[in-house]
Chains A and B, each alone.
Chain A
């Protein structure tokens, strides 16, 4: 009972501190509950959609004539295969909506009745999927994102023989290829339209040159008893039947799920790391609060001891009052997360193309909260060990006296910058107490700077290139193989507008098997075009390839290993000459020269990529090339180096990090300020008696916190320079970037510093308003 009485009395007396701790925990709890729940909901949403859509464990794309009966019967009789289905689709390489041309493959097929129609305004499923009329089309959510289009807009599908216009009638969930990050896309038309186009293509000679063709989708389902993962299953099937080698590409259910949830996963991981940093900062603040609390209440604890309270009981009282604040904060945070979770989840819909659930993962979150509370309680119990050192006699006789010690880093107090000088003296006199705050600022600035590096990456072309991310201002797709003289003529035309650098002369991307695994191969006209080699060297000879670090890990290969690469019925042995970075297919790819690839298939330069000296002329150059060489090529100017959706998402994430950091910092400053105010109340009175105004004393307070913000920012920035690359590399590995190379600029460090400093200055200025309440006559009461 006595403990409860003391706990309640302490909470009442230190309501400000109680609320601050509760607020910090609420911020952390809200963040981790939202992140955990959003990620859980997205994962479950994808699983449920894949289950509803009966997505096969492996989907292969085959030119119709390559998928013969012999191959199919081999598959059907395989021990691991439960079922095999085939669906013919019409594939076209040019699909446009307004001014936007989709650069990847779109498969046109009849409506899949297993898929559900989505109301994209309300973000919910429609009751049924209305039959399409002639001239209408359902597109996937990812395609809607890629085209930035709306229902009612027109889509033109160029099948080679003829162009067909369709009116978008709705958005159909496609759990296999519906995410915006997956290049291949499905679109759905009516039976009558499908039959008509199919007939047109079959009767057109133009379909034979590859502009458009009929492609068969092969759906392979594994037996329930098969314990292999989807990727292992696909690999085993290919090793046993060679089926994937005969196709133009394949994707497994697991890979599809991985790509669909890739972007939210990266965002959630980054935010989780951020929340862990916030938690670390909260632990520092809590320890600081407990520690200074003990010093400030030295006399009270001494009296309690004199009254017969054991040190264990006193420690229990302290732990209980902080635990109460933490429990309140965590509960409030979880309730706030209920409101936030749905909105955050919906943000990812344009990228995943799958409607997420809106559930809160209470069990998971409560378990995590339990762990967090346990850590915090252990910290409190460790800090409160010094209660044992309090002697009742000493506490009562001199416990309240504030003793200052000399410091070597004292600067003389001068008339010039008097307030700043006094603020610095206050800081150096109590530096041990402020070390915790500097640690908190360091943590926040470290993460804010890391986010700046990430956002800087989006806008820095050299950073993109060095990390193997495709970057170009102008892309020229060739409709047919062109002689060098013609390419030179095209480049001369570009040169009449501005200087340029030819960064890609690519033969396109294909799917070859490597050690039995279907993987994207990126073919370049010369080895020098293969960028971002991080180990070894470029594949200079026709029997060499380079592999991404991620692909090498997946296949357990290293530089110097020999591998078998297959395509259709051909096989060749190649030597791995190096490891590189290339973000295609989330980093699961390998690259070779045109010379090396020609041993397996016929290749020719299919597109050229340019970086322009004057980006402002990009649009004009593209128009001119299309006008002048329209029958030979399609030129496109990239207005933004990265798709807008990702830019928005990364910017939103940066905003979240900044907002949380600033709120966190404001609460911490308020808390520390309040304690400093109580401790320094007498000094404030003296300063007032000497003639200092309230404004000057508030400024002095604010300057002191500005000093802390500065020192913390410097430490945080140094930490960021040392460790951010490694941290971001580990996270971005999921995206195919295994070695993040930070792009530094003045703003990388200046923006976090400015944000934290402004927050510290303003928060401490506001918190120091209580100085008004200090009356000089209080000094008499002493």
Chain B
């Protein structure tokens, strides 16, 4: 039996548009399980990023609830949400969004420093380990503008996990990367998942989706399909690709 770590019930998100309401998410019920690598797929405009932001507390749902450890994120106070972001949640953006005037090492460690329970020394050690793990230890004192897009995204991943979050959210993390960098980033995420990291990722890239243990398909603001997969192994990538392709075809992807 899988342990649910995040639960959404009747989740809705709408925006005011031309005097009316534009419904992006409609009444979504969803469970995110511990240790899963969950991927949300869907066509452009299907609401997958909106769902990710609503689940992670970056945005507030219009209706419904997102329960994390017994607390509803939708009604949570801003201060509590801020704490959640530097203790329990980690976030990777498509555009990396590193702080331009901080070095890569500082970009990673600053997030860890926010956690009052962690010693500065431990944060620095973890940051160094992550830099090594991500293969960017040689450019650790460079500014983001001085490194490649792939290195920036690896730094963004390290930043997102420096405080050992319970859930790692990723919004199209390979969207702005070339093929080589995409593979490197996906390998890193897969590695993290193998170590037990729960990941919720939005993507429309099939290669990225192959790394998932669970794929949710979103269409017009509703979850219309779900596929469960075994843990990723590079050796069975081809058969995995065929399976996912067939499933997506059935959903008219």
Chief secondary structure at chain B's binding surface: helix
How far apart are the CA atoms of A522 and B114 in the complex, in Å? Answer: 73
Interface residues of B in 101-138 (CB under 8 A from A): 101-102, 106, 109-111, 113-114, 119-120, 123
Instruction: Say yes or no: is B2 at the interface (Cβ < 8 Å to chain A).
Output: no
Smallest beta-carbon distance B96→chain A, Å = 9
Chain B residue at smallest Cβ distance from A685:
B97
Contacts of B83 in A (CB 8 A): 691
- Are B99 and A693 in contact (CB-based, < 8 A)? no
Which residues of chain B are near A426, meaning CB under 8 Å?
101
A125: interface (CB < 8 Å): no
A404, B100: Cβ atoms under 8 Å?
Answer: yes
A78 to B18, CA, bound (A): 96
Q: How far is the CB of A167 from chain B (nearest CB, A)?
A: 73
Contact B145 A425, beta carbon cutoff 8 Å: no
Least CB distance, B175 to chain A, in whole angstroms: 11
Residues of B in contact, count (CB < 8 Å):
35
Measured in the bound complex, the distance between the Cα atoms of B99 and A402 in whole Å is 10
- The interface residues of chain A lying within 8 Å CB-to-CB of B97 are 682, 685-686, 689, 779, 782
| A692/B101 contact (C-beta < 8 A), A413-B110, A422-B110, A777-B53 known | no
How long is the Cα–Cα vector from A692 to B120 in the complex, in angstroms? 17
- B98: nearest chain-A partner, CB-CB: A686
Please state if A691 and B99 are interface contacts (CB–CB under 8 Å).
no
Residues of chain B from 42 to 90 with CB closer than 8 A to chain A in the complex: 49, 53, 58-59, 78-79, 82-87
Is the Cβ of B106 less than 8 Å from the Cβ of A413? yes
| A277 within 8 Å of B (CB atoms) | no
Within the complex, what minimum Cβ distance (angstroms) separates A278 from chain B? 32
CB pair A403–B145 under 8 Å, yes or no, is: yes
Name the distance in Å between B143's Cβ and chain A's nearest Cβ.
Answer: 6
Per-residue contact bits, chain A 755-782, to B (CB 8 Å; 1 contact, 0 not): 0000000000000000000011101101
Instruction: State the CA gap A688–B78 with chains docked (Å).
Output: 10
- A interface residues, tally (CB under 8 Å): 34
Tell me whether B120 and A406 are in contact (CB under 8 A): no
The 0/1 profile, CB within 8 Å of B marked 1, for residues 678-691 of chain A is 00001101111111
**Quick check: B113 and A686 within 8 Å, CB to CB?**
no
Q: A777-B58, A779-B93 are in contact. Are A415 and B100 (CB under 8 A)?
A: no
Determine whether A694 belongs to the interface, using a CB cutoff of 8 Å to chain B: yes
Contact between chains at B113 and A415 (CB < 8 Å): yes
Q: In chain A, residues 398-453, which have Cβ atoms closer than 8 Å to a Cβ of chain B? A: 402-406, 412-416, 418, 422, 425-426, 428-429
- With A403-B145, A686-B97, A780-B49 as contacts: A693 and B106 at CB distance below 8 Å: no
Cβ B120 vs Cβ A404 within 8 A: no
Contact A775 B110 (CB under 8 A): no
**Which residue of chain A has the shortest Cβ distance to B121 in the bound complex?**
A415
Instruction: Decide if A690 touches B114 in the complex (CB within 8 Å).
Output: yes
Whether B78 pairs with A693 at a CB distance below 8 angstroms is yes
Q: Given A404-B143, A780-B49, decide whether A692 and B82 contact each other with a Cβ distance below 8 A.
A: yes
Query: Contact: B59 with A429, CB < 8 Å?
Result: no
Min CB gap B244→A, angstroms: 25
Q: Which of B87, B111, B143 contacts A406 (CB 8 A)?
A: B143
Question: Residue B91 at the A interface, CB < 8 A?
Answer: yes
How far is B123's CA from A412's CA once the two chains are assembled, in angstroms?
14
Shortest beta-carbon distance, B130 to chain A, in Å? 15
Q: Is the CB of A692 within 8 A of B114?
A: yes
A402 surroundings in chain B (CB, below 8 A): 100
Query: Which residues of chain A have C-beta atoms less than 8 A from B145's C-beta?
Result: 403-404
- Shortest CB-to-CB span from B192 to chain A, Å, is 18
Complex partner residue of B101 from A429, A688, A691, CB under 8 angstroms: A429
- With contact pairs A404-B143, A425-B101 given, residues A690 and B58 touching in the complex (Cβ less than 8 Å): no
Q: Indicate if the CB atoms of B100 and A690 lie closer than 8 Å.
A: no
A779 in complex: contacting residue of B95, B101, B111, CB < 8 Å: B95
A689:B113 contact, CB within 8 angstroms: no
Asked, given contacts A413-B106, A780-B49, A780-B53, whether A690 binds B101 with beta carbons under 8 Å apart, the answer is no
* Cβ contacts under 8 Å, B111 to chain A: 690-691
Within 8 A of A (CB), among B163-222: 171
Cβ contact within 8 Å between B143 and A425: no
Tell whether, in the assembled complex, residue A688 and residue B82 are in contact, meaning their CB atoms are under 8 Å apart: yes
B49 contacts which chain A residues (CB < 8 A)? 780
Shortest beta-carbon distance from A718 to chain B in Å: 29
Minimal Cβ-Cβ distance residue in B for A425: B101
**Beta-carbon contact of B79 and A683 below 8 Å:** no
Q: Smallest Cβ distance from B101 to chain A, in angstroms? A: 4
**Which of chain A's residues have a CB closer than 8 A to the CB of B58?**
689, 776-777
Closest chain-B Cβ to A434's Cβ sits at a distance in Å of 13
A429: chain B residues within 8 A (beta carbon):
100-101
B85 touches which of A414, A691, A780 (Cβ 8 Å) = A691
What is the minimal beta-carbon distance from B113 to any residue of chain A, in angstroms?
A: 4
Decide: B95 and A413 in contact? CB cutoff 8 A: no
- Of the candidates B59, B98, B114, the one whose C-beta lies within 8 Å of that of A776 is B59
What residues of A have a CB within 8 angstroms of the CB of B85 in the complex? 688-691
**Inter-chain contact A415/B87, CB cutoff 8 Å:** no
Q: What's the minimum C-beta distance from B22 to chain A, rounded to whole angstroms?
A: 15
Give the Cβ gap from B119 to chain A, nearest Cβ, in Å.
8
Instruction: Identify B120's interface contact among A415, A422, A775, CB under 8 A.
Output: A415
Q: How far is the CB of A407 from chain B (nearest CB, A)?
A: 9
A692 to B114: give the CA distance in the assembly, Å: 7
List, in ascending order, chain A residues with CB within 8 A of B59's CB.
775-777
**A403: shortest Cβ distance to chain B, in Å?**
6
Interface residues of A in 658-690 (CB under 8 A from B): 682-683, 685-690
Cα A412 to Cα B78 in complex, Å, equals 29
**Is the pair A690, B86 in contact by a Cβ cutoff of 8 Å?**
yes
Expressed in whole angstroms, the Cα–Cα distance for A692 and B91 within the complex equals 14
Distance between Cα atoms of A693 and B84 in the complex (Å) = 11
A219-262 interface mask toward B, CB cutoff 8 Å, 1 = contact, 0 = none? 00000000000000000000000000000000000000000000
* Residues in A whose Cβ lies below 8 Å from that of B87: 691
Q: Is the CB–CB distance between A780 and B79 below 8 Å?
A: no
CB of B5 to closest CB in A, whole Å: 18
A413 and B102: CB pair below 8 A?
A: yes
CA distance A554 to B107 in the complex (A): 70
Closest chain B CB from A420 CB (angstroms): 12
Distance in Å: Cβ of A757 to nearest Cβ of chain B: 24
- In whole angstroms, what is the CA distance A413 to B101 when docked? 11
Residue on A nearest B145 in the bound complex, by CB: A403
A777 to B145, CA, bound (A): 23
Nearest-neighbour CB distance to chain B for A400, whole angstroms, equals 12
Report the separation of the CA atoms of residues A422 and B106 in the bound assembly, to the nearest whole angstrom. 10
Cross-chain contact B113 with A425 (CB below 8 angstroms): no
A416 nearest CB neighbor, chain B only: B120
CB distance from A318 to the nearest CB of B (A): 27
Write out the residue numbers on chain A whose beta carbons fall within 8 Å of the beta carbon of B82: 688, 691-693
Distance between Cα atoms of A161 and B189 in the complex (Å): 111
In the complex, what's the smallest C-beta–C-beta distance from A415 to chain B, in angstroms?
4
A427 nearest in chain B by CB position: B101
Q: How far is the CA of A561 from the CA of B197 in the complex (A)?
A: 96
CA distance A427 to B182 in the complex (A): 35
Cβ-closest chain A residue relative to B114: A691
CB distance from A114 to the nearest CB of B (A): 75
4 further A-B pairs in the complex, CB-CB below 8 A; given A413-B102, A691-B83, A692-B114: A689-B85, A692-B86, A693-B78, A776-B53
Q: What are 8 inter-chain pairs, A to B, with CB distance below 8 A?
A: A406-B146, A685-B97, A690-B85, A691-B85, A691-B114, A776-B58, A777-B59, A779-B95
Top 10 closest pairs, chain A to chain B, by CB = A691-B86, A415-B120, A429-B101, A691-B85, A415-B113, A404-B101, A776-B58, A777-B59, A693-B82, A404-B100
